[in-house]
Amino acid sequence: MDILLEAKELTKRFGAFTAVDGISLSVRKGEVLGFLGPNGAGKSTTMKMLTGFLAPSSGSAVICGETVTTGNVKARARIGYLPEGAPLYGDMTTREFLAFIAASHDIPKADIPDVVESAAGAVHLHGVMEQRIETLSKGFKRRVGLAAAILHAPDVLILDEPTDGLDPNQKFEVRRLIEAMSLDRAIIISTHILEEVDALCHRAVIINKGRIVADGTPSELRARSKYRNAVTMLVPAANAERTASALKRVGGVLRIEAASEGDFMRLTVVPQGNADIAEAIGDIAAVSNWQVSQFSVDPGRLDDVFRQVTEGDGVSTASFTAEAQS
Amino acid sequence: MKSVMTIFRREFGSYFATPVAYVFLVIFLVMQGMFTFYIGQFYNHEQADLAAFFTYQPWLYLFLMPAVAMRLWAEERKSGTFELLLTLPVPVGAVVTGKFLAAMAFAALALFLTFPIWITVNWLGTPDNGVIATGYLGSLLMASAYLAIGSALSATTKNQVVAFILAVTVCFLFLVSGLPMVLDLFSGWAPDPVVEAVANLSFLTHFNNLQKGVVVLSDVFYFIAVIALWLWIGRIVIESKREAG
């Protein structure tokens, strides 16, 4: 159990407003922790406390045995941090900027060119090394920020919305990079993009109003969704009503949601209490003439869980019901 | 110490990243020349000294030094690099010092570029170069004191123009406290030690001593104390601003 980062009851108050309210978490070596929450939930404030930018009102964070404070330089040396929006010195060239970051990490002067080269290579910056940072595209700027965060080979990486504002290809690149780096370090990424959690994270923590409201592996979280074990199928629109009324009679079915897709209708059968209804429905579908295509069982939906835990019970968000259809 | 140098190099380099630094140097030298030759009547004095050169510097610096210092922190806070900078493994004190030294080095460079006036006066006559040297020392110390004030006030705002105006205002107070018009306000009613204390707060009093060639340790110490005080104030401002985000 190599716990590289541990936070205990971190709390931050700004005047009367409590931005972060007693957050405890730990991240092991090799683990990528997804830090989720709606805007204003306290994600960035928590990360600012973990990196020693803000002093917590109470509670503490320990990184590799060093307590993080605004004055503890040793703790900061173990962290690679990409602040929200990846702020950079626009008037420097990429190479100058990375060399400055390397020097601030006390890397010996003779090693700096190599360190800069390899960090730049890891995020594919070679074409823009002599360009001023303010002239770079958003994707390149983010990558410069990432290179700066990783160049001193930190044990803990804290990345605040690393893929925010990138196009799908760039997102994919950044994720692959984070994955490659996760082997021997502890990584925390904050995001409100849920697909990222599936693509990257070994564990996800959802916070709301400064408190942790869910903590688990992506599959565990997904299992809390009311859509877990729901069955989705595509049937011709003409058959939809007949099919829906037949499905409603199957034991364990809570309700049926329908969405139109051209000549077809997508039916989602939501079970009561996540009961396993796939087999029963499959049997009926086999003997009836519904012309079912794309039959699938839902493992649960993260966005649904996210809404459930961050805005009350979430039942009100179910849009289509079979009752409304008929 | 090493981290001070790292910050210093970046900051000093960033002065020259845009043409603003060169424009500033030209403005400084032109203004300095105008003050020396037209207002100071350097030639008409027919004296082999640089009194005409130094006399108006406190007023010239009043506007130029806040302009050099205004971006030191305001820009970091505006662009968000404030957070990047303060999460690097560099102590806050080293960052404050490194940035101040960069501004000071820039002022020293500007001052160095006035060397033709020194050559001129040596070519025209035989001045006391010791007096000139202490004059330059006083000039650099005074410029640095302005810069320390400007640096601290730059941290109070994200807006460089606001930082500039605040710095000019505070520097002005430090400058005029030695003038008769301010001292007269006190001399009528306040006991002499108070009047003397106010006069002693002034940059002018101490700068005038140095440019007359009198290196009194207390004058040098005065400027160093003012610089140290304002760097310390700057550090406190920065610590409080980081909490505010």
Candidates A13, A17, A53, A74, partner chain B, best to mutate (most B CBs within 10 A): A53
Q: Does A104 touch chain B (CB under 8 A)?
A: yes
Residue-range definition of the domain harbouring residue B211: 2-244
Judged by a CB distance cut-off of 8 A, whether residue B236 touches chain A is: no
d(C-alpha A261, C-alpha B162), whole Å: 58
Domain containing A264 equals: 231-325
Residue A321 has pLDDT above 70, yes or no: no
Question: Any chain B CB within 8 A of the CB of A32?
Answer: no
Testing the interface with A: which of B11, B78, B87 to mutate, by most A Cβ within 10 A?
B87
Q: In the structure encoding, which two tokens stand for residue B242, read together?
A: 């980081």
Please report which confidence band the pLDDT of residue A326 belongs to, taking 50, 70 and 90 as the band edges. Answer: very low
Per residue, the 3-state secondary structure of A117-184, as one string, reads HHHHHHCCCHHHCCCEHHHCCHHHHHHHHHHHHHCCCCCEEEEECCCCCCCHHHHHHHHHHHHHHHHH
In terms of domains, do A235 and A198 share one?
Answer: no
Please write down the long-range contacts of A53-57, taking CB distance under 8 Å and 24 or more positions apart: A53/A83, A53/B83, A53/B86, A53/B87, A53/B242, A54/A12, A54/B242, A54/B243, A54/B245, A55/B243, A56/A10, A56/A11, A56/A12, A56/A20, A57/A11, A57/A12, A57/A13
ipTM of the complex: 0.87
Question: What's the confidence (pLDDT) of residue A312?
Answer: 58
- In a 13 Å sphere around the CA of B28, the CA atoms on its Cβ side amount to 26
Sheet holding A253-261, edge to edge: A253-261, A264-271, A231-236, A293-297
Domain count, chain B: 1
- Interface check for A135 against chain B (CB to CB < 8 A): the answer is no
Interface touch A54/B243, C-beta < 8 Å = yes
Is residue B2 less than 8 Å (CB to CB) from chain A? yes
**Token output for A145:** 């920020």
Which chain B residue's Cα is nearest to A105?
B89
Interchain contact, B80 vs A105, CB within 8 Å: no
| pLDDT given at position A285 | 78
The verdict on A21 and A76 lying in the same domain is: yes
Question: Got the DSSP string for B10-23?
Answer: HHHHHHTSSTHHHH
Residue A217 sits in the same domain as residue A286 = no
pLDDT class for A165, splitting at 50, 70, 90?
Answer: confident
Q: Nearest-CA neighbor of A59 among A21, A28, A33?
A: A21
The answer to whether the CB atoms of B13 and A105 lie below 8 A apart is no
Chain B contact for A238, CB < 8 A? no
Place of tokens 């650099």: B140
For position A207, which CATH number holds? Answer: 3.40.50.300
CB count in 10 Å sphere of residue A195: 13
State the CATH number of the domain containing residue A272.
3.30.70
Mean pLDDT, rounded, for A3-10:
90
pTM: 0.85
Q: Please say if the pLDDT value at position A17 is more than 80.
A: yes
Residue B37 clears pLDDT 70, i.e. is over it: yes
Query: Are both A166 and A283 inside the same structural domain?
Result: no
Residues A275, A299 within the same domain? yes
The answer to whether residues A139 and A246 belong to one domain is no
Q: Are residues A265 and A128 in the same domain?
A: no
Chain B nearest-CA residue for A52? B87
Q: Do A278 and A241 share a structural domain?
A: yes
Hey, is the C-beta of A134 within 8 angstroms of any chain B C-beta? Answer: no
Do A218 and A253 belong together in one domain?
no
Last residue of a domain, one of A190, A223, A256: A223
Residue B27 has pLDDT above 90, yes or no: yes
The residues, ordered by sequence, that sit 6+ positions from A113 with a Cβ below 8 Å of its Cβ are A99
Highest mean pLDDT: which of A258-262, B18-22, B46-50?
Answer: B18-22
A93 backbone φψ class: left, alpha, beta (φ>0; ψ -120 to 50): beta
**Alpha carbon distance B198, B178 (integer Å):** 7
Q: From chain B, pick out residues whose CB is under 8 angstroms from the CB of A84.
A: 80
- A115-149 tens-digit pLDDT: 999 999 888 888 899 999 999 988 889 889 999 99
| Candidates B13, B84, B243; nearest CB to A83 | B84
Pair (A319, A299) in one structural domain: yes
Contact predicate B73/B240, CB 8 Å: no
Confidence of residue A1 (pLDDT cuts 50, 70, 90): low
* Pairwise CB contact (< 8 Å): B80 & A73: no
Same domain, A217 and A241: no
Check whether residue A182 and residue A53 sit in a common domain.
Answer: yes
Overall domain count for chain A: 2
Contacts of A65 (CB under 8 A, 6+ apart): none
By C-alpha distance, which of B152, B2, B87 is closest to A70?
B87
Closest by Cα among A53, A1, A264 to B81: A53
Calculate the CA B131 to chain-centre distance: 20
Which residues of chain B have a CB within 8 Å of the CB of A81? 84, 87
Domain edge (last residue) among A223, A242, A259: A223
Find out whether A70 and B239 touch, Cβ atoms under 8 Å: yes
